[in-house]
Amino acid sequence: MTQKPTRPEPVDETLAAADAPENAAPEAAQAASEALEALVSERDDLKDKLLRTLAEMENLRRRTEREVADARAYGMTSFARDMLTVADNIQRALESVPPEVRDSDTVKPFVEGVELTERDLLKTLERHGVRKLSPQGERFDPNLHQAMFEVPDPSVPNGTVVQVVQAGFVIGERVLRPALVGVSKGGPKPGNGDNDATAPGGEPKLQ
């Protein structure tokens, strides 16, 4: 006797299709969330790198501008310092002429020629940022002047430059050579608001 083949039980396809999305939805949402987080993290990382690069480029630009400006202002520092000897020698030549013969017919043209040479030299140095310091009567400034001796003089404020032994020179904001000066002592103290150019007690800082 042959058995009749049994028919498979019918599958409720509607229920199976309904159960599938419920199981897949959380996994898909989690994967999408992780992908979004990765993209956000990558975006933030790229943004940070971009900002850092822009900041470095700006710092490099500013540093380059400073270096170029310094090169223009101070590139001739060594040459200018060597030229101070020439300026000193011209000044010594003028000082060596006795006052009583300075206006004589034979000496006066020579003196005027040397003075003209000195003026031209100083003007040329000034065009290149080098300036002469002649602080006679000014307040002593330890950043620009070097005090060589003190001169008792109660008629002027204490710490005033009363004698210039050797003129100083600056290039831009830098000192090529401080002015060698004598400063007053024994006079009234400077008024309030002056910078600290003297030692405690109102005495000049001798160097």
Q: Which stretch of DSSP H or E encloses residue 164?
A: strand 161-166
Q: Which of 2-11, 75-84, 95-104, 193-202 shows the lowest mean pLDDT across its residues?
A: 193-202
> What is the sign of the dihedral through the CA atoms of 133, 134, 138 and 139?
positive
> For 16, what's the count of Cα atoms within 13 Å in the CB-facing half-sphere?
4
Residue found by looking up tokens 């024994």 in the block? 186
pLDDT digits (tens, 9 = 90+) for 83-117: 999 999 999 999 899 988 888 888 899 999 999 99
38 token code pair: 């990765």
Q: What is the pTM assigned to this prediction?
A: 0.61
The reported pLDDT for the residue numbered 195 is 47
CATH number for the region 129-198 comes to 2.30.22.10
